[in-house]
Amino acid sequence: MLYILIMHQVDLRRIDLNLLVTLDALLEERNVTRAATRLGMSQPAASRALGRLRDLFSDALLVDGPGGYLLSARATELRPALRQILAGVGALLEARRFDPAVASGPLRLLMTDLHAAVLAPHLLSRLAEEAPAVDLDIIPPGPAIAAMLENEMVDAAVGVIEVAPSGILRRKLFEDRFVTIMRKGHPAGENRLTLDTYLTLDHMTINVTGTGPAPVDELLSAMGRRRRVRTRVPNFFAAMEIAAGSDLVMTLPESLARTAAGAARFIMLPPPVELGPIAVSLLWHARDQDAPRHMWLRSLIVAAAQMSVDKNNSR
């Protein structure tokens, strides 16, 4: 049986499968000239193709009859299978196309509430225009982002990822920077923070995954200094509300501070230590690199990120 299968594979490699398209036109038109016109080829080329098909099937396929060609018994027999094969190939190729206007179902994006606040309004606006039947599911991040992409639990992820693990592709969306915020009327006032003043304040941090120190604490530790972190919370917007109603200060990405400070509830100051830029990236699995649906999704996210950057730059 294996030998027979291998022989069939070899035979297929020697066959010009475009002949099947020509055969379908010939059987449909029962006229070489009309079939040639339908296929956009010359009449001699269509005649040569008919000769090759006759050799391939060991059958005349089209036979002379009153007023033109008739289908041979063999041609009549294979015609339904031929149409089914060509329809299947068409469906296979059609699956490589993606039309957002008729698409449905959820897009599952892994991101923090910070990045959802920054990107989701722009994403939803584009979805309403381009893909009204597509829904947006925001999935909170965990410690195993790569595994969630690998297991198709999410379509893409947005986050601060310096190096993408094997099998995961990455594109930088925009650069953010750290700012320190405190409520309006905070006892520390609105003057630029010195390191000593900064360290006397009570701090709050956001620990999304529940593991690892904050970048500020890593830098302070390297300097032999330490701040007092009185409160740790798992998401950004809870932290914003706590900061608005207390004397806790928070060092966080500027994009969130600008998104959440719409009521001008906060003073925004540069931190007293240089923390460097934050690269916010888009991540996806390598298997989805050329998938039309995923390519469209990535273009949507990139456009939303650019709109967010333009909005912040205009302030």
pTM of structure: 0.63
Q: Which amino acid is it at 47?
A: S
**In whole angstroms, what is the distance from residue 100 CA to residue 102 CA?**
5
pLDDT of 67: 76
pLDDT of 90: 67
Structure token pair of residue 174: 């925009």
Q: What would the pLDDT profile of 180-219 be if each residue is shown by its tens digit? A: 999 999 998 888 899 999 999 999 988 765 556 778 888 8
**Of the listed ranges 4-8, 85-89, 275-279, 299-303, the one predicted with least confidence:** 4-8
Domains of the chain: 2-94 (1.10.10.10), 100-175+279-313 (3.40.190.10), 178-276 (3.40.190.10)
Backbone conformation region of residue 200, classed left if phi is above 0, alpha if psi is from -120 to 50, else beta:
alpha
pLDDT of 227: 93
pLDDT tier at 312, thresholds 50, 70, 90: low
Q: What would the pLDDT profile of 253-275 be if each residue is shown by its tens digit? A: 887 777 765 557 888 899 998 88
Burial pattern 82-111, b for ≥16 Cβ within 10 A else e, equals: eeeeeeeeeeeeeeeeeebeebeeebbbbb
pLDDT of 12: 55
pLDDT tier at 3, thresholds 50, 70, 90: very low
Phi, psi dihedral angles at 69 (to 5 degrees): -80, 150
pLDDT of 313: 63
CB 110 within 8 A of CB 148: yes
